[in-house]
Amino acid sequence: MNGADVDTGGRAGGTGVAVIADDHDRGGSPGHGPGRGPGRGRHGAGGRGRLMAGLRRRLVKRRIRIRRTRGRRLRRALVVLLALLANLVGAAVVAYHLTKIPEPHPETAMQSTVFVDDHGDYLGRRGPVDRQEIPLSQVPRYVQEAVIAAENRSFRSDTGISPRAIARAAWATVSGGDRQGGSTITQQYVKNALLSPEQTLSRKAREALISIKLDRTRSKDEILQGYLNTVYFGRGAAGIQSAARNYFGVDAKDLTVSQGAALASVINIPSYYEKAGSDPKVTAKLVDRWEWVLDAMAHSGAITSAQRAGARFPAFRFYPPGDTDGQRQYLIDAAASEAADRLGITEDQLARGGYTVRTTFDLTAQDATAELAADGTEKKTGEKTGEKAADAKAGGKKRAEVKTSGDVRVHTAVVALVPGDGAVRVLYGGADYASQPFNDARDGAVEAGTALQPFSGMKLLAPLTDLTRTAAPTPLRLASAYATAAAHGVYATPYTVAKITRAGRTLYEAHPRTRTAMTRADAGMIAKLPYGRLDAAPATRTGAAGLRTLWQTTYDEHLTLTVALFAEHPAKGKKAALPAPLPYTAGSRSLSVSEGVWSKIVGTAEGHDPAAEPNPGLPTGQTKPILATR
């Protein structure tokens, strides 16, 4: 039994040992039953090890698989990318060939006609847009370089576009951000002159295509010329020529380095910088940008270091400008009508044609006339003295005793022209064009009365044949008659246009049109001037039609000045205007205007001796008028 027991126990013991060993292998320990040890099962250390080992094997296999297929996948991606790029390039090429460079839109092609006085001072303009085209040759090189320095420093070498700027603008459009600038000069020209200003991706893409095509088919100078003639500079000025006039009162060809850099600086924000010169804050900011432009020009060699060191910020014309309707529109009306006639076109065609009309007017004398006619009825030496002189010259009428009743409006018309030449220097036709567009000096019929007496009984030739039968001539016609006497009987057709140019080309230039209208003897009787003496005083003739009108003409061989005054009761409702007696101040007003304007015009001669030069428009031996057309 013991043996059996031992044997049995041995087997049992063997079994027990085997169990214990198995438990040990599974992480168990004696005394804990099977599967109850702390490390037993799938959560034990052995299980985690096998799991991690499996993961490592899978990762290794994955890496191996990735390494084996990497090249194939890269090749596939590259093929897709190349195919996409090829499609994009193909689409761009097709779009490029299909894209046509459009014509400038109508408002860009429109120009205005500018009027200047005999000295070249700005008088005004006519037309829907303040713009005049000029060739690039009339823009100084340093002005061109100033614009390039301010707006697109790579202009001379780029392809017409800035990819970075396009991408930035596209992203701003997609993301709803602020508008982005930075376009090239070519792009700006395309946007401003050839396309609409809308901010869309399709328009931006078209702008880029047109810019590239423009750059490939046009020279840089052609593109820059188009840009300079259309870019907006503020103050209502489109293009460099109008900007030069509006900011500095000069033509583009006369801009200095400092002025050119200032205009180039304005392009960035024209609506803001246009106030420079009148707003200290705006001026200070523009000065900073002006300095930046000049520094870039000096760095690029566009100007010398001496030019940079000597640059001073230029003085701007005051902005906003004053109202020019008061007087200048009278002058522009007369000159526009004559200029259109000389060119054989309508006044509307003239206004839109981009012409420069150089008139015969003296703007300084015209402004002085307006001031004298507006306020100066009495002289500083005393009203009564002026009245007595005027009364004596007017035939003894006691105007000081004339009483006026009701609302009386006194009209003053003034004409100054050059005898033997016909150039009109002053044409004062009313106090304010806005309230009275009718020009009394050119078109008004004023009772002549005794003002025509010197011509009575004389044989007058055309165009003065019917002068003495004209009861109410225009002040311009009467002045022309006295100018004929001053020119020894040579009548010169009055004219207001001296020259017409466009884009630097002269299209018309005036020449005196003269003819004999009275004998030299008759002219001498009227003039009563000792022409052999250079220091002879001018003659003065006065005349009147009762108490309703007063005429005064002062004249010598260099200038004829006629002042005409008349009064009326203004129209009211259905009641027409009626003649009225002149107020007692009419005599002093006439003297004040006549003497003031005469001295203003003759004073502009600055000591020039008229006897030193012959006058082809006058008889042999007669001297050249002081203010003959240059």
Q: Which residues of 591-620 are buried (b: 16+ CB within 10 A; e: fewer)?
A: bbbbbbbbebbbebeeeeebeeeebebbee
Number of H helices, E strands in the chain: 21, 13
Q: 499: which 2 tokens?
A: 């020259």
Alpha-carbon distance values, 354 to 134, 193, 217, 498 (Å): 9, 17, 27, 17
SS3 200: coil
Residue 606 in this model has a pLDDT that exceeds 70: no
Burial of 539 (0-12, 13-18, 19+ CB in 10 A): middle
Q: What is the pLDDT at residue 227?
A: 95
Higher pLDDT, 254 or 539: 254
Q: What is the pLDDT at residue 478?
A: 97
Per-residue pLDDT tens digits for 511-534: 999 999 999 999 988 877 444 444
Residue 22 in this model has a pLDDT that exceeds 90: no
Higher pLDDT, 511 or 629: 511
Q: What is the CA radius of gyration of the chain?
A: 46
What's the pLDDT band for 539 if we cut at 50, 70, 90? confident
Residue 3 in this model has a pLDDT that exceeds 90: no
For residues 491-500, average pLDDT? 98
What's the pLDDT band for 401 if we cut at 50, 70, 90? very low
Angstrom distance (rounded) from CA 617 to CA 488: 11
Per-residue pLDDT tens digits for 311-364: 999 999 877 655 445 688 999 999 999 999 999 999 989 998 899 999 999 999
Q: What is the pLDDT at residue 106?
A: 67
Q: What is the pLDDT at residue 163?
A: 75
Angstrom distance (rounded) from CA 192 to CA 232: 9
The residues near 543 (Cβ < 8 Å, ≥ 6 apart) are 394, 395, 448, 449, 450, 451, 452, 453, 550, 551
Per-residue pLDDT tens digits for 31-74: 444 444 444 445 566 777 888 887 887 887 777 777 777 777 78
Angstrom distance (rounded) from CA 295 to CA 409: 60
For residues 216-231, average pLDDT? 93
Q: Which of 106, 132, 129 is nearest to 356 (CA)?
A: 132
Per-residue pLDDT tens digits for 120-145: 988 988 988 889 999 999 999 999 99
Per-residue pLDDT tens digits for 551-594: 999 999 899 999 999 998 887 877 888 889 998 888 888 999 99
Angstrom distance (rounded) from CA 233 to CA 247: 9
Higher pLDDT, 309 or 214: 309
Give helix 240-248 / helix 220-230 axis angle, nearest 10°.
50
What's the pLDDT band for 213 if we cut at 50, 70, 90? confident
The residues near 280 (Cβ < 8 Å, ≥ 6 apart) are none
Higher pLDDT, 431 or 259: 259
Contact 416, 365 (CB under 8 A): yes
Which strand (E) or helix (H) includes residue 143? helix 141-151
Q: Which of 468, 467, 466, 476 is nearest to 563 (CA)?
A: 476
Amino acid letter at 105?
H
Per-residue pLDDT tens digits for 410-445: 999 999 999 999 999 999 999 888 888 899 999 999
Residue 468 in this model has a pLDDT that exceeds 90: yes
Q: What is the pLDDT at residue 71?
A: 76
Q: What is the pLDDT at residue 620?
A: 36
Angstrom distance (rounded) from CA 341 to CA 192: 34
Residue 253 in this model has a pLDDT that exceeds 90: yes
What's the pLDDT band for 169 if we cut at 50, 70, 90? low
Sheet hosting strand 497-502, strand order edge to edge: 122-126, 113-116, 356-359, 497-502, 505-509
Q: What is the pLDDT at residue 395?
A: 42
Residue 111 in this model has a pLDDT that exceeds 60: yes
Q: Which residues of 447-470 are buried (b: 16+ CB within 10 A; e: fewer)?
A: bbbbbbebbeebebeeebeebbee
Place of tokens 């299909």: 98
Angstrom distance (rounded) from CA 357 to CA 114: 6
Give helix 475-486 / helix 520-527 axis angle, nearest 10°.
110
Across the chain, what does the average pLDDT equal?
79
Write the secondary structure of 70-101 as one string of H (helix), E (strand) and C (coil): HHHHHHHHHHHHHHHHHHHHHHHHHHHHHCCC
Of the CA atoms within 13 Å of residue 109, those in its CB half-sphere come to 6
Q: What is the pLDDT at residue 85?
A: 78
Q: What is the pLDDT at residue 607?
A: 40
Per-residue pLDDT tens digits for 143-154: 999 999 999 999
Higher pLDDT, 197 or 111: 111
Share of the chain above pLDDT 70, in %: 75
